[in-house]
Amino acid sequence: MSSLLLKNVRAVDIGMDTVCDIMIENSHIKKIDTNVECEAGKVIDCTGLTAVPALFDMHVHLRDPGYTYKEDIITGTRAALAGGFTAVACMPNTNPPVDNVETVNYICTKSKNTGVKVYPVGCITVGMEGQKLCDYSLLKKAGIAAVSDDGRPVENSELMEQAMINAFNKGLPVISHCEDLAIINGGKINKGKISQMLDVPGMDRASEDSITQREILLAEKTNTRIHIAHVSTEGSVDLIRNAKARGVNVTCETAPHYFMMTDEKLITRDADYRMNPPLREESDRLAIIDGICDGTIDCIVTDHAPHSPEEKEDFLSAPNGIVGLETSLAATLTGLYHTGKLQLEGIVRLMSVKPREILGLKPEKLKEGARANITVVDTEYEWVVVPEKFRSKAKNTAFKGMALKGKPVITISNGEIKFKEI
């Protein structure tokens, strides 16, 4: 019988904040109490550390199959464990895309023994071409958790409406990449004073806001639901807040770079600060924080988007995207917890509870009898981001060289320590 005892750990969950011992046996939490004894097994003194239900990132790109020079399921899940995640949902813009049962099976099989539960997201449309809907029944039976054409919008509103109805009837969330391609028109960074200064084509906020509004109206009209990916603008936050107030079934996410940075980072003409949607302005950054704090924004994701160093060399021609699995919790602690904007329970809700809830999955809990999926965090640990130390195959991070406070130090997946750095 394998056993593990976390001694003197601060346990934080929804409605729970206490210092205790956590005994783990055979993949489950056997006991939570004080002065627990462990006759045989591993004992870790966690004085000064915090245990939370294991994190879940519902928006990552593992690039596998098809683009494994950027990342693959093995390296991506190692990065996830180092970031405190025992589960992720991976987006379907692979090669081939996740519009068929074989690709779903490939992802599920390859990720099976990694310690990270990988939930494939299926395509909304065949080949992500925006012409014909996928067979959601087949894909759900194979194991998808949601549908999305992430990386592209579904441009045809009538087709998107039918997708939302079909997916809702199958119990599948629809995750929308909100971008009007006609408005974007080749834009590279946020449209504003920085794009003007650099003489670089800009990406107008109206592109995101207009499709956010369309998706809300479609969900309202059809009495279905929609999840808005990677919210970055003040306008989209306001639209979602107002929609929720009138009862529309809309949820949304954002990523740490949107509440930690602005487009002033682009002055350096470094493609590691280019992503889609782009870094916006200070008013947008503050609106994202307000949306997180008042519950408009449901969860924090990474939109982990690996690229090779060669691809990121040229500022204008580089593909959009940054990696984020190994910095997400640290950035959130730095930007929201240590600034007094959120308590740890709020971070648990944003990074563990709500993502699972949105996808219809059972939450992880710190309670006796629950599966032992636990992230142990040193909230006071100060460190500087060195991309060369990442477990990810890719190093394209916007947080490079940044000083952060807080870090996962142990990740426990089904009772086994899969990452340890103390």
Which residues are part of the catalytic machinery? 303
Query: What b/e string do you get for 292-325 counting C-beta neighbours within 10 Å, with b at 16 or more?
Result: beeebbbbbbbbbbbbbeebbeebeebebbbbbb
Cα gap 147→225, rounded to integer Å? 12
Cα gap 384→277, rounded to integer Å? 26
Q: Which residue has the tokens 């959130």?
A: 332
How crowded is the C-beta side of 53, counted as CA atoms within 13 Å?
29
Q: Which residue has the tokens 């449901």?
A: 298
Please name which of 17, 64, 21 lies closest in space to residue 43, comparing C-alpha atoms.
21
DSSP class per residue in 309-364: TTTTSSTTTSPS----TTTHHHHHIIIIITTTS--HHHHHIIIIIHHHHHTT-PPP
- 171: its two tokens: 């119990």
Q: Give the SS3 label for residue 249.
A: coil
Q: Give the SS3 label for residue 27.
A: coil
Cα gap 9→20, rounded to integer Å? 6
Cα gap 94→164, rounded to integer Å? 22
- 23: its two tokens: 């005994």
Cα gap 253→307, rounded to integer Å? 22
Q: Are 43 and 3 in contact (CB under 8 A)?
A: no
